[in-house]
Amino acid sequence: MNYKEYIEINPSVRFGKPCIKGTRISVYDVLSWFASDMTMEEILADFPQLTKEQILACLSYSADKERKSFVVA
């Protein structure tokens, strides 16, 4: 998945945190909802403006940032 289609960093939105385009919902928000045991269906029901693809883009963004944070010695 190309998360760049769905995620943007705008300094004037949420202090430059990565957010879903066209919203003020950050990648961190979505990850926090999953961490608090919400399901995809619950997130979509609570935030009907979101799509499954946008939520998956948040996961993809996070996985990519995690992969890039490892430095091979």
Q: Is residue 72 part of a domain?
A: no
- Supply the pLDDT for residue 34: 98
Q: Is residue 41 part of a domain?
A: yes
- Supply the pLDDT for residue 66: 84
Task: Say yes or no to pLDDT of 73 above 60.
Answer: no
Q: What is the pLDDT of residues 17-53, one digit of tens each?
A: 999 999 999 999 999 999 999 999 999 999 999 999 9
Considering the entire predicted model, what is its pTM?
A: 0.88
Q: Is residue 49 part of a domain?
A: yes
What is the domain extent for residue 18?
Answer: 3-67
CATH number at residue 27: 1.10.10.10
The length of the chain is 73
- Which whole-number Å values give the CA distances from 67 to 18, 25, 40, in the listed order? 17, 23, 23
Half-sphere exposure of 45 (CA within 13 A, CB side): 5
Task: Say yes or no to pLDDT of 71 above 80.
Answer: no
Number of domains in the chain: 1
- Supply the pLDDT for residue 68: 75
Euclidean distance between CA atoms 38 and 33, whole angstroms: 5
Euclidean distance between CA atoms 1 and 16, whole angstroms: 22
